[in-house]
Structures are given as structure tokens and as C-alpha cells.
Amino acid sequence: MKTKIFLFSLFVILFHLKLASQNLEKILAQIGNQKITAKEFKLRYELSPFVSHRSKWNQDTIKTDFLFSMIAERLWYLDALDKGLENSEEFRFYFKPLQDIFLRDYLFKQEIEEKIKLTASDVSNAIYKAQFKIKSKILNSNDSIKIFTIHSLLNEKITLDSILKIPEYAFLSSGEFEISLGSLKDEEVEDYLFSLNPGEYSKPIKSEIGWVIFYITDKLFTPIDLSNQKAVENTKRIVKSRKAMIKAQEYLQEILGNKIYNIDDTLFNQIFELIYKRILEKSEKDGETIQSFYVLNDNDYRLIKLELGDTNLRKSLFKISEMEVTAWDFLANLAFEEHKFQSKDKNKIYSQLSKIVKDFVYQQRLVYEAKKHNIDKNKNLLDELQNWKINFLSTQLRLSYLDSARVTDEEVLNYFNNEFRKDKTNLLIKMRILNLENLDEVEKTLEQISSGKSFKEIIKSYGKTDSLTNDSGETPLLPHFHFGDLGIIASKLNLNEVYGPINRNGMYSIIEVIDKKEMPDTFQIDIESSKNYIKNFLFLKKFNELTSQKTFELAEKYGVKIYEDVLKEIKTTTIPMFVHRFMGFGGRIAGVPLLDNWFQFVDIKEFKSKVQP
């Protein structure tokens, strides 16, 4: 009887798994000859932070907005294909480095990850160590004599506290350190430390920070439930990751060791001088700003390429076997990786760029290896790249309309004199702004928001990170057009709503609206001091209206059909998430292409009226 019940339960589980899989393969929307499946929507939706942490909103509304954003993106992609943008130099410039990083990642999977096999001993040893947390004091020094002397004193039963009171040894302690499975690179050292008990200490160990003695102060035991498959798999993943790191180092040594690649110094120096020139111009223009680094933008690279000239761009910077790597390739990779130059000192910039080009040589050697293994023809890789291509081309086409939205001084004066007071979109806004330098900080911040920590409390630890704010990270109450693109976004948010990340000026901005009200007729605006703000606001407004109108036209051109019943069936999480994907052999990207907030530009109600129900 028990067997029958078990088999019936297994059948029910498999049936529901199959049903769930079938539901995710259902078509959610059709745009011309393109389809959006429930699976694609769910993955993209749940990994897009600007939607997922707006949990106070009606989830059905957010899901609908997000779907229409995906449809708008696909419409602009189709039009970009019709216009031949896929073959444009600009698209290739930004897309080739993405192809390269995927090639390296798939090479890593094939040559490293897939060749790692865990033995029963590996797993049992990992599970044993995963149940312990070791508290240890660290004694370290580059002077081996001092470390070995301390070890001898400990062997003579002299207490550690007494040793550290001796003046010449007092500064050798680096404080407390917690050791857990995977926290050390060297598995042999880790095994050794896990064999020690509180009050015991290690022999002197040579490490990256010099000579080290670990003095064990505590060993905490937390048993793992072996029936918890997720916990067991996480433990195995830690072991595999470390083995992968060791195997990758061996692989890199095999293909990179003892090989010399000659870089064209003349060409490299030309590139350096142009980059240095752009950084100097930025530093002079910015003056005293809160930003402590310089990031070259699209316009900078456009000017560098123009000044370098087509002949130099096509020149070989170095060769890997028969593969020519040009100056154009190097600049494309620089633009993709968005390097932060921490100084305007010429020697420091040259040193940083020299290291970057050395790393680039190694990266291209891996790309060459991937192509040699025909990884560039891998179907899964091509499918992943297709999603990014859709995102890149749709954005590129939309940005090509920027010139059509330019605003003249005459238009500014006309708007201020005749329309400003009648424009109900003009609001007074006060907000908190947090600018973060990297994806790790974004992920950490969203996790804190998810755990219930207030944005006010989070931003307090950062203070002033934007020139628009005070030391508490708060702006004054000002007309929303004073804040540019942030003001337009904030004007459409609810009070106390947190929103982000917004990629701007090489950083990631997260905002919270803390005050929002209509602008009273008595509110005084000085046209001279506000002219540039209004001009920028009108430019963004015109660009958004142009984007909206163009999206409607494309919907009619290509045809859109939406299956709202499928959308209602999709179950999604509302937990804030921002997943970045670590790529094999180094580098990282967003887990999925971050969707432009098309519903900020497009009137969804009007859009709905132009598509098939």
C-alpha cells in the first residue's frame, strides 16, 4: 500500500512539474515574427530590480507594465533590423566585447567546469567542514623570524596575551578572523585548521599576506540536515568553485605561460595620449566634484576613434597566431568594461592602461582558444547573445532619435512665458539619492531593502554621494525639472517609493521620493537661473513623447498580439533582486539584459488601444 501511495505521489509531482514547464513555454505575446514566452518574461521580470522592489504597487499592474516594456523593446529591435543597424559600426563596437566575454565563459564551462568531478571523499569532507565555523586570531608578518619566534614561545606554553604584550610582537596581531568552508583558497591549509581545537594554533604558514599563525579561539558546530538537498548542493558548489579556480589557474598557465605577445608601442602610445587628453578635459570641466574618478563615456570614445582615424583603428595592436587584434578591438573593450581612472596623473593613467592592455591580451588569447574549439557556434551561447542583441539594438535605435529632440532657447522662453504655469506635470520634489560605484553595492543595498531596512537608514552610512544632495543624501524641495532624468522618474513615483538602479555617469543611482506636491501659482521661478534646467526638461519631455509616438507607429507596423490569460497564470516573486553573473575567467555582467523603463516613456493605456486584445 505504501508503495502505491509513493508512486501516486511521485506521479502527481511529475505531472505538476511537467504542467509548470508547459505553462512557461506558452506564448505571452507575439510581435511581428517574434514571440515572448512566459519563461522569458518570468526570468526577466524577477531579475529586474526597478520592478521587483516596487512591491507596494499592485503586482498585476507592474507585470502588465513590464510586459508592455518588453513588447516595446521588441518592436524597436525589429525596426533596428529593418534599418540595418545590426551591421553598423556603432553596434559592433559595443556588442563584440559582449560576444568575447560569453566566448570566454563558455570556454570555462567546457574546459574547466565540466571536467570537475567530486569524489565521495570530497563531498563527505565538505559536509563535515560546512557544519563548523572557526573563530581565530591572526598573527602575521613578512618577518619569518618573528613569526617562528612566536611559534616557539607558544610551544613553551607562554600565553598569547603575554606574548603580545612584548613591544616587538604587539603589532603582529591582525585581529579576529572567521574560517568557514571555502573561505581559504588553499584546501590543504583549510583541512589543517579544521583539525585544530580551541586553544590550539597552527604552525607558521606562508601566505599572500606574509607569514601567518592561526590561533583558534572557538569552534562553533551547526549540523546540516542531510535531507536538505539545497544545503548539500550549496556545500558541493563551494568545493567545485575552489577546484574550478585551481584548474583554471593550471589551464591559464598551460595556454598563456612562456608565450610572448608583442604590442605595437607606437599605436598603444597614440591611444594613451588620446585617453589622457579626454581625462584632462573632464577634470577641467568637472572642477571640484564629489566624484573621485573619471569614466569615459560614449561621446569620449567617439571622439577618440575620430582623432585616431580609420587607418590606425584598423591597425594590428598585437597578433595571436593568425588572429589580428586591432586598436578598434581594444577601444571597444575599454568602452564595454567602463574602467574607472582614479587619477588624472599622466604616469598613473599610463600604468593603469598598461595593465589593462596586458589583461586584454590574455582575454583575447582565451577568445582565440574558444573559437578554435568552435564554441562560437554553440547554440546555447547564440541564444543568450540573441537576448542581448535585442536589448542593444532597441536602445541604439531609440538613442538615434536624440537629435530630433533638441530644444532651442526660443522654445524655452516660449514654454516659460505661455505654458509653464498651465503644465500640471510640474511638481515640487524632494528625494534621497544614493549613488553606488559597483554592482556588489547595488546587490547589497537591495538585499537590505528586502530585509526591511529603511532607505533612510541605508543612505545614512553613505552620506553625500551626489552633488544634488546634502550630507544626509537628501535634495531640497525643488521643481522636478531641476533633477533632470531623475526628476522625471521621481514625478511618476509614489511618495516614499524607492526606485533604481538607474545607470548614470558610470554609477548606479537609487532614489526615494520623500516629498511631492503640486507647484503653487505663487512659487517663484527665475528664468535666467532655471533656463538650463528647463531646457533639459523640455528635451527629455520631447524625447519621451517622440519615443511614445514612434512605439505606437511600430505597433501598427509590425502587429502585436497579447495573451493576457497567460500573463495572469504566471506566478512571480516580489523579492528585490539584482543578480549579476560572474563569467568564467573573470568579468561579470547583469544576470539578464536590464530592460529600459519603456513605460516611463509610453502611455500604456494608449498603447493597449493600438494592439490586438
Q: pLDDT tens across 363-411, in order?
A: 999 999 999 999 999 999 999 999 999 999 999 999 999 899 999 989 8
pLDDT for the residue 394: 95
Any residues with CB less than 8 A from the CB of 496 and at least 6 apart, and which?
512, 513, 514
Highest mean pLDDT among 15-29, 358-372, 478-492: 358-372
Largest CA distance in the chain: 90
Question: Cβ distance 212 to 205 under 8 Å?
Answer: yes
pLDDT for the residue 248: 92
pLDDT for the residue 211: 93
365-374, 441-450, 552-561: which range is least confident on average?
441-450
Highest mean pLDDT among 285-289, 297-301, 368-372, 438-442: 368-372
Look up the CATH architecture of domain 132-222.
Answer: Roll (3.10)
Q: Which residues pair with 31 in a beta bridge?
A: 34, 560
Mean pLDDT of 589-609: 73
pLDDT for the residue 286: 59
Strands 173-179 and 132-141: antiparallel
pLDDT for the residue 52: 40
pLDDT for the residue 288: 45
pLDDT for the residue 192: 94
Query: What is the pLDDT confidence band of residue 574, given thresholds at 50, 70 and 90?
Result: low
pLDDT for the residue 14: 39
pLDDT at 81 over 70: yes
pLDDT in tens, 199-215: 999 999 998 888 999 99
pLDDT for the residue 164: 87
pLDDT for the residue 24: 63
Query: What is the pLDDT confidence band of residue 18, given thresholds at 50, 70 and 90?
Result: very low
pLDDT for the residue 71: 92
Task: Tell me the Ramachandran region of residue 586: left when phi exceeds 0, alpha when psi lies from -120 to 50, beta otherwise.
Answer: left
Domain spans, the chain: 2-83+564-607, 132-222
Half-sphere exposure of 502 (CA within 13 A, CB side): 20
pLDDT at 304 over 90: yes
pTM: 0.80
Percent of the chain with pLDDT over 90: 46
pLDDT for the residue 521: 72
338-347, 413-422, 491-500, 581-590: which range is least confident on average?
413-422
Mean pLDDT of 223-242: 87
CA distance 20 to 9: 17
Residue 214 dihedral angles phi and psi, to the nearest 5°:
-95, 125
Cis amide bond preceding 501, omega within 30: yes
CA distance 306 to 34: 37
Calculate the average pLDDT of the chain. 86
pLDDT for the residue 599: 61
